[in-house]
Chains A and B, each alone.
Chain A
Amino acid sequence: MSQKNVKTFPQGGVHPKDHKLSADRTVRRLPLPKTVSIPFSQHIGAPAVPLVKAADEVKTGQLIAQSAGFISANIHSSVSGKVKKIDQVKDLTGYKRPAFIIEVQEDAWAEGIDLSPDLVKDISLSPEDIAAKVAAAGIVGMGGATFPSHVKLAPPKDKKVEFLMINGVECEPYLTSDHRLMLEKNEEIMVGIQIMLKALGIDQAFIGIEDNKPDAINLLKETAKKYPGISVEPLKVWYPQGGERQLVKALTGREIPPPPKGLPIDVGCVVFNVGTVFAVYEAVQKNKPLIERVVTVTGPAVKKPSNFWVRVGTSIAELIEAAGGLPDNTGKIVSGGPMMGKALDSADVPVTKGTSGILLLPQTEAKRWEKLPCIRCAKCVSACPLGLEPYLLMALVDRQMLDRAEQERILNCCECACCSFACPSNRPLLDYIRYGKATILKKLREKAKK
């Protein structure tokens, strides 16, 4: 692994040990679950509006909930069977949200979906049709943010797009779903990139991959030779290299204007995760909606750390079972990686479009150490990739001084957790900042409504 002459972002960041336990495990397909529960809302934006009701028969790939607005996404059935009921189901947030509960009967697919493994290279659709197809397939950002992809593929007319950035960085420790996808679906990803380039009307794409995945870098470099306009860029192993802002800065040197308004498109870039690229390929070339994804199940004590192709709506408990069962000393079940993932209070939570991995942490690692007083060491300040002062933001939020926190650019925070990781006093910096952000954003939304 060479750390020299590779690009990176200039400010802050940390280096957690990468623990890629499942990097050499081929993605396996699991037997179909007996029931699935598919939440209405698996994306940022308005929850989808249900189209089927209890006792209806559905087929795999059938549209079951319609996108409710521009920033929203369609939802398709991931199995075929009978809708048992529409009920409140606990999702990743820990709160109950409406979901379809479908009893699986057989694997009958809806008509018009090409299930053959053949690579389809010719892109016949026009740019507008591609965006429409992506919208119809219900594709959202699969890196975790779950922003509806068709919105990014149809940029506003007054913005000029220059580069397409493909995020294969996977800087979160433990997770390997993107890594495996790049190794196993390299050709498909390249065609997916061609489709996106056509939709955006540009001809240059970068794939950013962290330097700890030399096999993926070499393979994609080799494959990219066959396709025009795609270059593969190794990046320094440095968290959060895969953050949108950091990736754009590392690859182009451009600085995205500050959030919440600044977007990559303001500096001529559009960023997609490799998982999203593959989903776009399947939607456009194979007519297959987004109903399954790669999920890593891993952890220091997991018997068989694995990568699975998982249908949306499968219970996380089933994945853990398939990976050798829940280790006895498990202290935390995390959806996502250890840095930005979310601890779950039950394994009976469905996999959604944004679930990239399940991490089982043993008690010793899961427990938060005692919170000590701030010693003003400023490690959080040096770790913050956005140049914020996390210790100050935490104090301001604790004292409810939210106006001041807003002045101190609390809304710029990308919630990468570098500050909490770096703090020698184990202070829950990000918990406070996240809460402060949510409260301020809520106030701003209320103001905007008035």
Chain B
Amino acid sequence: MLIIYTILTLSILGVSAAVILFLVAQKFKVHEDPRIDQVEEALPAANCGGCGYPGCRNFAEACVAADDLTDLFCPVGGQECMHAVAKLLGKELSVNDPMIAVVRCSGTFEHRPKTSVYDSAPTCAIAAAVYGGDTGCSYGCLSLGDCVRACKFDAIYIDEKTGLPVVIEDKCTSCGACVKACPRNIIELRKRGPKNRRIYVSCVSQDKGPAARKVCKAACIGCGLCVKACPFEAITLENSLAYIDFNKCKLCRKCAPVCPTHAIMEINLPERKPKEKPVESPQKTTT
């Protein structure tokens, strides 16, 4: 008898517990869209925050919740990854050009001699809070590597010969961490450009021409020659500083040769052909 009672009690206990658990599970069910997991799977899992969300999971949630994906972009996965996400969710996608971080300073040791010695805490943020920097230029790179420390992909390093940061093209995911870390706003995200070709003004100095030139040989002096040379109105001049709009630039290469300080950089563009000497036109004979 004892054994039957035991079995009965335990069975009843088990069944009632099961029913309670089932009811509770129904009552407090957390509904999670299964697509979130799928989207997360399609993302690169870098958790870099380049999209503006704390991690890939949050970005996946945002993708599922959004009506269309036009405002959402994963800079690490790029267009391919976003296509996969769009396919999964069946949502509209805007076409975003792949971007890359660009360091807009040419103040190498050679171009920009040191005027003082900085020996406080070795971070750009603190140096920028203390003064204008150890060269005469109070806009240029401080060379203390806050951008290097911010990069999660080892895509940027300080070149010891020049003292300037260099972006490794293959590794840069355009997450924008270095852009945020730079206290001088020198690093900018720009279009990678066709065949990785791009042209930009490698200077952010707002000093007036003579003052800028005095402290750095490669500074933009705001002379405006490039503005005049540009056939596409892609270059604007503000506060003695030229800026090339990468959406308007057609890589025609008319601006760089006119720049008196060589502040305009051409990246990955083929070498210029040596200038052909203008063929002497046959002398016009007067009749």
Compute how far the CA of A367 lies from the CA of B116 in the bound complex, rounded to whole angstroms: 12
Partner of B138, one of A94, A367, A368: A94
> B101-122, CB under 8 A of A: which get 1 and which 0?
0000000000000011001110
In the complex, chain B residues whose CB is within 8 Å of the CB of A432: 121, 126
A93 interface hit (Cβ, 8 Å)? yes
B131 interface hit (Cβ, 8 Å)? yes
- Inter-chain contact B119/A367, CB cutoff 8 Å: yes
- Inter-chain contact A345/B126, CB cutoff 8 Å: no
Q: How far is the CB of B148 from chain A (nearest CB, A)?
A: 15
Q: How far is the CB of B203 from chain A (nearest CB, A)?
A: 16
Closest residue of chain B to A437 (Cβ to Cβ) is: B129
Compute how far the CA of A431 lies from the CA of B130 in the bound complex, rounded to whole angstroms: 8
In the complex, chain B residues whose CB is within 8 Å of the CB of A431: 120-121, 126, 130
Q: How far is the CB of A115 from chain B (nearest CB, A)?
A: 38
In the complex, chain A residues whose CB is within 8 Å of the CB of B133: 94
Partner of A435, one of B115, B125, B132: B125
- Inter-chain contact B131/A345, CB cutoff 8 Å: yes
- Interfacial residues of chain A within 298-354, with CB under 8 A of chain B in the complex: 342-346
How many residues on the B side are at the interface (Cβ–Cβ under 8 A)? 18
Number of A-B contacts (CB under 8 A): 48
- Interfacial residues of chain B within 202-220, with CB under 8 A of chain A in the complex: 207-208, 211
- Inter-chain contact B132/A90, CB cutoff 8 Å: yes
In the complex, chain A residues whose CB is within 8 Å of the CB of B120: 368, 428, 431
Q: How far is the CB of B112 from chain A (nearest CB, A)?
A: 14
In the complex, chain B residues whose CB is within 8 Å of the CB of A378: none
Q: How far is the CB of B240 from chain A (nearest CB, A)?
A: 10
In the complex, chain B residues whose CB is within 8 Å of the CB of A90: 132, 138
- Inter-chain contact A96/B207, CB cutoff 8 Å: yes
Q: How far is the CB of B263 from chain A (nearest CB, A)?
A: 19
Compute how far the CA of A91 lies from the CA of B120 in the bound complex, rounded to whole angstroms: 20
- Interfacial residues of chain A within 75-95, with CB under 8 A of chain B in the complex: 88, 90, 93-95
**Complex A-B: 8 CB contacts under 8 Å:** A94-B133, A96-B132, A346-B116, A368-B120, A428-B120, A432-B126, A435-B123, A435-B129
**20 extra interface residue pairs, beta carbon distance < 8 Å, beyond A345-B115, A435-B123:** A88-B207, A88-B208, A93-B131, A94-B130, A94-B132, A94-B133, A94-B138, A95-B132, A342-B131, A345-B116, A345-B132, A346-B116, A368-B120, A428-B120, A428-B121, A432-B121, A435-B121, A435-B126, A435-B129, A439-B125
